[in-house]
Amino acid sequence: MGSGGATPYDAIIVGARCAGAPCAMLLARQGLRVLLIDRDRFPSNMPQSTHLMHPLAVAKLKAWGLLEPIAARTTPLTNWRLDLYGNVLVGVPPPVNGNVLSFAPRRHVLDDVLVRAAVKAGAELREASTVTNLVFEDDRVVGIEARECNGKKFIERAPIVIGADGPGSVVAHRAKAQEIDVVPIVQSNLWSYFEGVSLDEVQLYVHPKAGAFAFPSSDGSTLVAANLMYAEFITAKADRSAAFCARLRQVAPSLAAAIGHAKQVDRLYAGCTRAFVRKAWGPGWALIGDAGMKKDPVTAQGIPGAFLTAEWMAQAVADGLSGRQSLDRVLADYEAKRDAFMMPFYSFTARLAEFNPPSPDQDRLYRALRATPTDTSELFGAVALTHSPAAFFAPDNVRRILAAYGH
């Protein structure tokens, strides 16, 4: 594979972070000629994102042989502590391929390991190059137009252009990828990094219309974050620092106290997003990661979602270009697989992001869960992409938990 084509590349991937770099690496490892383009240079931060990685994402890194350099700089996390409307649930998310660890590496650490692995596998990386348009022939995408940072324009061609260029994807816009579902921004995150916080677990606080979370990250720092509903976030623009501290004091007083004695080692970041699902492919183009589906960050499913779609896409493109199946067929299958797996988690995430007060029945369930680590772990699995939210909240399952542990 990878020789004798009319173009120098089998695939062009736009965007070289959580989705694009692994996809490039996996294609290059199969002998395909890959061009990986990003407007950023690496290593660099991705400032619109916190970075908790569930066991599923960690298991992928391990399988790809990339966990070691990340683990060397980042605290491993086993325990999750979820304060769900005053009910404190403690446990471990379900293992994936034997891995129970979560990690929360800074993005300049994670993304650099991913990009370097793609290059090591044989992908050509072009940094500081912005894709501005797609090249079409007979309604089929056959390449990209791009601009280097010095303004020099260039065109490259390949049988498939993969958009891994995040929510504002130029590939999606130029290909006119249809938006199938859209949820406006509901809530937002404010966060920063501290040294000297004594924390060895993931802490999540979900209260009516308010939340907070914290986890140790890379190089001895701990991320501490507050959730504000979007209207509050807009109002708080004048003094986000005050809003951050006030929210922590309200829902997580122990975290507020801990950072009071700690050293803040980075600025205060702010981020929020609308959620959407886009059509994932068309003739000569396809979307992976956030370019194709964006969820509210409340369930931290973006990075594992990027890894999964990168892996599925790499397999699809390798099959499509080998002649085993048509490219259009494998891309249609990719989209069906993405939607079948992700849509239940997409809907669940959209509901959680509303931070709605629990109904009396939900409150009984959450109280009952305090007595059952196994069911708590399965609830964590609905967040961590291993257990179906629909199955967990199915009336029969809820009745079983209440009968065994309810009061």
Ligand X SMILES: Cc1cc2nc3c(=O)[nH]c(=O)nc-3n(C[C@H](O)[C@H](O)[C@H](O)COP(=O)(O)OP(=O)(O)OC[C@H]3O[C@@H](n4cnc5c(N)ncnc54)[C@H](O)[C@@H]3O)c2cc1C
Residues binding ligand X (CB under 6 A): 14-20, 37-40, 46, 48-52, 130-131, 164-166, 170, 189, 271-273, 289-291, 297, 300-304, 306
Nearer to ligand X, 20 or 143 (CB): 20
Nearer to ligand X, 188 or 376 (CB): 188
Q: Within its chain, how far is the Cα of 232 from the centroid?
A: 24
At closest approach, how far in Å is the CB of 187 from ligand X?
10
Structure-block tokens of residue 177? 């990828």
Nearer to ligand X, 23 or 401 (CB): 23
Please state whether 88 falls in left (phi above 0), alpha (psi between -120 and 50) or beta.
beta
32 phi, psi to nearest 5 deg: -85, 155
Residue nearest to ligand X (CB): 302
At closest approach, how far in Å is the CB of 261 from ligand X?
25
Nearer to ligand X, 345 or 366 (CB): 345
At closest approach, how far in Å is the CB of 239 from ligand X?
19
Nearer to ligand X, 18 or 327 (CB): 18
Structure-block tokens of residue 282? 């068309």
At closest approach, how far in Å is the CB of 291 from ligand X?
6
At closest approach, how far in Å is the CB of 407 from ligand X?
34
At closest approach, how far in Å is the CB of 203 from ligand X?
13
Residues with Cβ within 8 Å of residue 201, at least 6 apart in sequence: 77, 78, 79, 80, 81, 215
Residues in the chain: 407
Nearer to ligand X, 19 or 89 (CB): 19
DSSP 180-225: EEEE---EEEEEEEEES----SEEEEEETTEEEEEEE-BTT-EEEE
At closest approach, how far in Å is the CB of 79 from ligand X?
17
Pairing of the two strands 80-84 and 34-37: unpaired
Structure-block tokens of residue 153? 């324009």
Cα dihedral across residues 102, 107, 113, 116: positive or negative: positive
Residue keyed to tokens 């106290």: 257
Alpha-carbon distance of 173 to 179, in angstroms, equals 10
Nearer to ligand X, 110 or 259 (CB): 110
